């Protein structure tokens, strides 16, 4: 199922990021802890490398990057730990796993930001931080938490933020928000499915049933215990379609004649997985 969901403002954002990087001191990249690689943008490492004036004595250098695995409370902690080690080793970034809706968690990001820009601090200059990430990963929620009041739109659907915002926190840090940016087409079909299963892609851009079948296949393989416990199943079906039908019968997703409403059952499974009711689940491993 190739997914091509690339609103026009995202292409504009990619161009703006390229011109924005030289003005920034630190990049904060927000990822979904349940699918860190699939929710990362392969353009970012390219855009933050070899920036004029960011090295020693005004030479080109790389912008330091903090990769935040957000929604860590929904992800498998063992898998999250493995992803952090992978990113730190392969990409040379600092990583954090947290849930930005929890009190005090966003402040941890600011403390690390200051450590990564010592020259700006020593000169009494404000540290300019650009926040990037795919839609629906929590950028606006982070901005609101750091500022202490609502300064950015927040919604359950992706693509709420449409333009850049600069916010002076009055504590030596200036935040720059950007709209969520995805790459134009997911060449790896499973990346598209993972993003869809997590809710990063608008539900109108895909077929619920296909995504639910993908999610059910993954859950049967990686999290059978959680499935049995949540849906009170003594035995698990071997096939994902049968699993969804079984869940539909258990939860009353029926149409006339007692047949399972497969679409309703699919929505139910995805909703429970996204909300964490199935437990702490990761959709991919390093």
**18 within some domain:** yes
The proportion of the chain whose per-residue pLDDT surpasses 90, expressed as a percent, equals: 57
Give residue 261's domain range: 207-275
CA distances from residue 187 to 3, 38, 284 in whole angstroms, order as listed: 9, 11, 17
Within a domain: residue 219?
A: yes
Centre a 10 Å sphere on the Cβ of residue 255 and count the other Cβ atoms it contains. 12
Same domain, 77 and 212: no
Give tens-digit pLDDT for 107-120.
Answer: 999 999 999 999 89
Check residue 11 and give its pLDDT.
63
Examine the domain organization and report whether 74 and 27 are in the same domain. Answer: yes
pLDDT band at 184 (very low <50, low <70, confident <90, very high): very low
Q: What is the CATH number of the domain that holds 43?
A: 3.40.50.300
In terms of Cβ atoms closer than 10 Å to its own Cβ (0-12, 13-18, 19+), residue 170 is exposed
Phi then psi for residue 30, to 5 deg, are -95, 125
- Asked, for residue 252, whether it belongs to a domain, the answer is yes
Highest mean pLDDT among 91-95, 137-141, 254-258: 91-95
- CA-based radius of gyration for the chain: 21
Is 2 within the bounds of a domain? no
Residues 169 and 231 in one domain: no
* pLDDT band at 43; cut points 50, 70, 90: confident
The CATH number of the domain holding residue 239 is 1.10.1580.10
Max mean pLDDT among 1-10, 161-170, 181-190, 203-212 falls in: 203-212
Same domain flag for 228 and 163: no
Residue 219 and residue 213: Cα distance in Å, rounded? 10
- Mean pLDDT for the stretch of residues 184-211: 79
Residue 195 located in a structural domain:
no
pLDDT above 90 for 68: yes
Residue 166: both structure tokens together: 């600069």
Q: Is the pLDDT of residue 83 over 50?
A: yes
User: Quick check: is 282 in a domain?
Assistant: no
Question: Same domain for 116 and 223?
Answer: no
User: Both 111 and 249 in a single domain?
Assistant: no
Supply the pLDDT for residue 180: 58
CB-based contacts of 142, cutoff 8 Å, min separation 6: 28, 30, 70, 100, 106, 109, 131
Residue 70: beta bridge partners? 32
Shared domain check, 225 and 142: no
- Quick: pLDDT tens for 255-284: 988 899 999 999 999 999 999 999 999 999
Residue 2: the pLDDT is 52
Are both 13 and 120 inside the same structural domain?
Answer: yes
Mark whether 22 and 103 lie in a shared domain: yes
More confident residue, 180 or 140: 140
Q: What residues pair up with 133 in beta bridges, in sequence order?
A: 30
Which residues are within 8 A (CB) of 76 and not within 5 positions of it... i.e. 6 or more apart?
280, 281, 282
Give the predicted TM-score (pTM) of the model.
0.86
* Domains held by the chain: number: 2
Tens of pLDDT along 17-42? 788 888 899 999 999 999 999 998 87
Residue 217 confidence (pLDDT) above 80: yes
pLDDT of residue 261: 97
What is residue 157's predicted lDDT score, i.e. its pLDDT? Answer: 41
Residue-level pLDDT at 9: 52
Average per-residue pLDDT for the chain: 86
Strands 165-168 and 173-177: antiparallel
Question: Greater confidence, 4 or 147?
Answer: 147
pLDDT for 151 beyond 90: no
Statement to judge: residues 215 and 173 lie in one domain: no
Q: Which distant-in-sequence residues (6+ apart) come within 8 Å of 98 by Cβ?
A: 68, 69, 70, 72, 105, 108, 109
Question: pLDDT at position 159, please?
Answer: 37
User: Both 154 and 256 in a single domain?
Assistant: no
**pLDDT at 188 exceeding the cut of 80:** no
């Amino acid at each position: 199922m190739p997914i091509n969901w690339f609103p026009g403002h995202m292409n504009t954002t990619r161009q703006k990021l390229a011109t924005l990087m030289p003005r920034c001191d630190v990049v904060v990249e927000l990822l979904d802890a349940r699918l860190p690689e699939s929710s990362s943008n392969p353009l970012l490492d390219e855009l933050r490398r070899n920036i004029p004036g960011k090295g020693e004595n005004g030479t080109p250098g790389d912008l330091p990057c903090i990769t935040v695995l957000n929604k860590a409370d929904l992800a498998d902690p063992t898998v999250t730990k493995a992803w952090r080690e992978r990113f730190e080793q392969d990409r040379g970034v600092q990583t954090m796993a947290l849930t930005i809706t929890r009190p005090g968690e966003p402040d941890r990001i600011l403390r690390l930001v200051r450590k990564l820009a010592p020259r700006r601090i020593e000169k009494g200059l404000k540290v300019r931080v650009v926040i990037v990430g795919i839609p629906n990963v929590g950028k606006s929620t982070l901005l609101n938490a750091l500022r202490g009041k609502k300064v950015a739109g927040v919604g359950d659907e992706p693509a709420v933020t449409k333009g850049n915002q600069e916010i002076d926190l009055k504590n030596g840090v200036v935040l720059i928000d950007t709209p969520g940016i995805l790459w134009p087409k997911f060449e790896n079909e499973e990346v598209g499915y993972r993003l869809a299963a997590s809710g990063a892609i608008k539900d109108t851009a895909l077929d619920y049933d296909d995504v639910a079948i993908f999610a059910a296949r993954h859950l049967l393989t990686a999290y059978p215990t959680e499935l049995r416990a949540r849906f009170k199943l003594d035995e698990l079906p071997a096939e994902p379609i049968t699993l969804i039908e079984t869940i539909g019968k258990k939860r009353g997703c029926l149409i006339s004649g007692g047949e399972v409403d497969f679409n309703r059952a699919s929505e139910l499974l995805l909703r429970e997985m996204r909300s964490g009711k199935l437990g702490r689940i990761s959709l991919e491993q390093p």
